[in-house]
Copies of this chain bind each other. A is one copy, B any other.
Amino acid sequence: MLIIGELLNGMYKEVGEAIVKKDKSVIQKIAKAQVDAGADALDLNCGPVSKDPITDMQWLIDNVQSVTDKTIVIDSSKSKVICEAIKKAKNKVIINSTTADKEKLEILVPLAKEYNSGLIALSIDKKGIPQNKEQRLELAANIIAFCMENDFPVTELYLDPVVMPVDVAQAQLKGIIEAVREFKLLCDPSPKTIVGLSNISQGALDRSLVNRTFLVMAQEAGLDAAILDPLDEKLMDALITAELILNQQIYCKAYLEAYRKSKK
């Protein structure tokens, strides 16, 4: 599974302050820690503190790229930020994210195509967050259709069912896992699937336990990528063990250790 580190986000105090003060050492330390823990890619989000998100995102990209060649995930709800920041990227990029709204797709799908980048697409539109699996599938199908019409390869599309917190929408969670499974069946070759994991445990007491339990279920359903905290060792243990059970890693007695060594 593609592991995308979530920690370089301005909503975290340390990162937000580093962005404001332009303290690259904090950013680079967190980037390296995530890569060392197994991240294949790093999500970059300026967060609410940024007054000039284009400049700040470019600064983040520059400083992260100077310490790692892992994939950069440019995370912004503003298409303009993504369009400008992507020019700075030397490494492989994933755009995070478009919605199913045509205005966004019309900007971000051609951009992803131009830069040979991946594209995360939330199964959400202006009407708001879908309330059930069927709505998620309908929005995902619209996104896939748009990509096909515009010759964007669906194998570079990461469909996100939009994970809801367990304390807000408990009844939807099983449908979200089923959406992951059914997204994979919408076309052949299949699109990729992704979740922003930590949202599920907003407000929960043992966040890691809730996160890793949901993650393992989503992995069995065919999840291809997750934005998560790679420094959470218990979460990573569960992820690696799920890959083992799903026959995506070769078994050996010290498989956790072997996996971690293989990432270095």
Contacts and interface: CB of A to CB of B under 8 A. Distances in A.
A241 B256 contact: no
A25 to B, nearest CB: 35
A185 interface: no
Contacts of A69: none
Contacts of A177: 220
Identical copies in the complex: 2
A256 to B, nearest CB: 7
From A171, A177, A209, residue with most partner B Cβ within 10 Å: A209
Contacts of A256: 206
Contact residues on A (Cβ < 8 Å of other chain), bracket: 20 to 34
A245 B209 contact: no
Given A206-B256, A237-B209, A253-B204, A166 B245 contact: yes
Contacts of A174: 220, 245-247
Contact of A166 (B205, B219, B244): B244
Contact of A242 (B217, B219, B254): B217
Given A174-B247, A203-B253, 7 more contacts: A170-B247, A171-B247, A177-B220, A205-B254, A213-B245, A217-B219, A217-B242
